[in-house]
A and B are shown apart, each in its own frame.
Chain A
Amino acid sequence: MTLPEHALAHLQQVLRTPESAGERYTLHEPVGQGGMGTVYRASDRALGRDVAVKVLRGDVADAEAAVRLEREARILARLEHPGIVPVHDVGTLGDGRVFYVMKLVRGRRLQEFAGAAPRSDVLRVVLRVCETVGFAHAHGVVHRDLKPSNIMVGAFGEVLVLDWGIARVVGTGRAAARGEARPGLAAPASSGDPLPALHGVPEPDTAPGTVLGTPGFMAPEQARGEPALVDARTDVYGLGAILRAVVVREGDGRGVPRPLEAIWTRALSPDPAARYPSAADMAADITRFLDAQPVAAYREPLTERAGRVFRKYQTAILLVLTYLAVRLLFLVMRGY
């Protein structure tokens, strides 16, 4: 027999799909690929709904990778936030591969969304990303792989930060227990609810020289493989790179307001100490920009400030000026 092209392609895909016969979840087509695992659309037979199942990729399916995928699931399960995909279940397939089940989200990746949306809408999405990352920081978690392709904008405006596969828990280790929490991250005594230590679960990279992340969105200390220096400001760098990437599309930076440019310039400082201390601080600056307020990252010249104030109160100023002009005209006419 001969196999037509479409039949061969279908067979290759179904045979690549991990074996899940007899499991609660029936895996369908792949919908995403992360550093460690492939995400499949799946049917949850027990609840009769579609879900997403992340299964460890075959080529990285060793014992350590299995522990890390499970660790990712546990981190996500603890970070209950509208900007983070909720995890429903975790388990092991018949072939030994670890998987976890999460809500199936549909939408566009940030770069696609940014290509078709007004700048103010794009900025509001980045703001939501900063808030979500700030929430993770408040729980001692650094994402470490922030980039537009890891941001999903849903059909109903929901903004989700995806792929926490190389996230690092840095606010709850022994240093934190000694009260030496890193900048921007929750310390045990903070008012937040820090993530409990994941006993026996190794960090994705504890050895100096190990580089995990994406070039172009990775902070210098991360690119140099210095895990000891990773803290909330590492993610601030990634947020700055995202902001710049979605505002300056196709290398065209014309017409970008200087305060906005100053926000990503500060976030992208090579020296972590010169960046925003946390994602929440960066979010505050983006909010100020959207509200036509002065931003902390930019010292505004008087002329620019006047222009900004005029643009913000344009209608009121014009009304007052019109009133004064009419009044003046009236007085002049009466004088003659």
Chain B
Amino acid sequence: MPDHSGRTGGRAFPPTRQSVVAATRGDDADARRAAFEVLIALYWRSVYSHLRMKWRAEPADAEDLAQEFFARAMARGFFDDYDPARARFRAFLRTCLDRFVANARRGERRLKRGGGAKALSLDFAGAERDLAAATMDAAPESDGDAWFDRAWVRSLFADAVEALRAECAGTPREIRFRVFERHDLAPGDGTPRPGYRALGEELGLPVTQVTNHLAWARRELRRLVLDRLRSLSGSDAEFRAEAEDLFGVRIP
């Protein structure tokens, strides 16, 4: 059973400038499977959120539908018809999902628990907790598509943060991740974010070192997010448009 525990952690992720989207349609079966694993890792939360929030599926049904969707996408080549000139891949995947769910419901083929799909190891309980927390903060007018996009951005960033952690682990850069984690990933339970001085005292670093480490970690995180974005885009134009939306920067 493949492990899609919700992250690629920087290990499964392909090197930069290689499109995962293109690889899902390639002839090499191994590359195809690997590409699907990356896609699933970064999209399953979006798919689950979409099923829950737009299609109002119960958690158990949403789990089954998500599993079935990815299983069929792999087996039947859902993404083979994708044309980068016509839409962003994200929008195409969402359309495929909508069509899949509409067909499933119209044909009264409601999937029984397990549904015949090969079970993927996905943390649906965690996704449900995230969804509950995000629902509390969401604007009332948030529609199903917005949930899909938001969950996708969350997966993208979460995966990049994990990759950053893995990159720093066991190296002298571990302290840089520690600074980043304490400052930028601080829990939002009402406790104020630690200041540079306080963080320096806590970690035994001068303030300038704290700001330098933080700047390095952010720069590296930006690179990792952009790497993922590039691989998940169907074309260069799509990548540039996504990067502009996310960071407001124009990629040369």
Contact = CB atoms under 8 A, between A and B. Distances in A.
Interface of A: 1-8, 10-12, 14-16, 18-19, 21-22, 26, 38, 57-59, 61-62, 95
Interface in B229-252: 244, 246-250
B162 A1 contact: yes
Given A11-B157, A15-B222, A21-B212, 10 more contacts: A1-B158, A7-B184, A8-B157, A14-B184, A16-B246, A19-B219, A21-B216, A58-B250, A61-B249, A61-B250
B109 to A, nearest CB: 31
B102 interface: no
A2 B247 contact: no
Interface in B117-134: 126-127, 129-130, 133-134
Contacts of B188: 4-7
B118 to A, nearest CB: 24
Q: Which of A8, A10, A95 has the most CB of B within 10 A?
A: A8
Contacts of A1: 6-7, 158, 161-162
Classify chain B: how many residues form its interface, as a range: 35 or more
Q: Which of B6, B185, B187, B211 has the most CB of A within 10 A?
A: B185
B12 interface: no
Contacts of B198: none
Given A2-B158, A7-B185, A21-B212, A15 B250 contact: no
Interface in B213-231: 215-216, 218-219, 221-222, 225
B249 A10 contact: no
Interface of B: 6-7, 126-127, 129-130, 133-134, 137, 153-154, 157-158, 161-162, 184-188, 193, 211-212, 215-216, 218-219, 221-222, 225, 244, 246-250
Q: Is the interface of B mostly helix, strand, loop or mixed?
A: helix
Nearest to B135: A5
Contacts of B129: 2
Given A7-B184, A8-B154, A58 B249 contact: yes
A59 B157 contact: no
22 contacts: A1-B162, A2-B130, A2-B154, A3-B154, A3-B157, A3-B158, A3-B161, A6-B188, A7-B185, A10-B184, A11-B157, A11-B184, A15-B218, A15-B247, A16-B246, A16-B247, A19-B219, A21-B215, A58-B247, A58-B250, A59-B244, A95-B249
Contact of B137 (A2, A5, A19, A58): A5
A8 B221 CA distance: 12
Contact of B248 (A2, A11, A59, A62): A59
B146 to A, nearest CB: 13
Contacts of B130: 2, 4
A18 B117 CA distance: 45
Contacts of A2: 6, 126-127, 129-130, 154, 158
A5 B219 CA distance: 21
A95 to B, nearest CB: 7
A59 B246 CA distance: 11
9 nearest A-B pairs in the assembled complex, by CB-CB distance: A6-B188, A21-B215, A58-B249, A58-B248, A3-B158, A5-B137, A15-B222, A16-B248, A61-B250
A58 B244 contact: yes
Contacts of B158: 1-3
Contacts of A59: 244, 248, 250
A58 B248 CA distance: 5
Nearest to A55: B248
B134 A5 contact: yes
A57 B245 CA distance: 12
A122 to B, nearest CB: 33
Contacts of B225: 15
Contacts of B162: 1
A4 B222 CA distance: 18
A4 B247 contact: no
Contacts of A15: 218, 221-222, 225, 246-247
Nearest to A21: B215
A62 B249 CA distance: 11
Contacts of A58: 244, 247-250
B153 A8 contact: yes
B142 to A, nearest CB: 12
Nearest to B251: A58
A298 to B, nearest CB: 47
Contacts of B222: 15
B219 A21 contact: yes
Nearest to A14: B218
A59 B247 CA distance: 10
B225 to A, nearest CB: 7
A12 B133 contact: no
Nearest to A4: B188
Contacts of A38: 248
A14 to B, nearest CB: 6
A213 B158 CA distance: 41
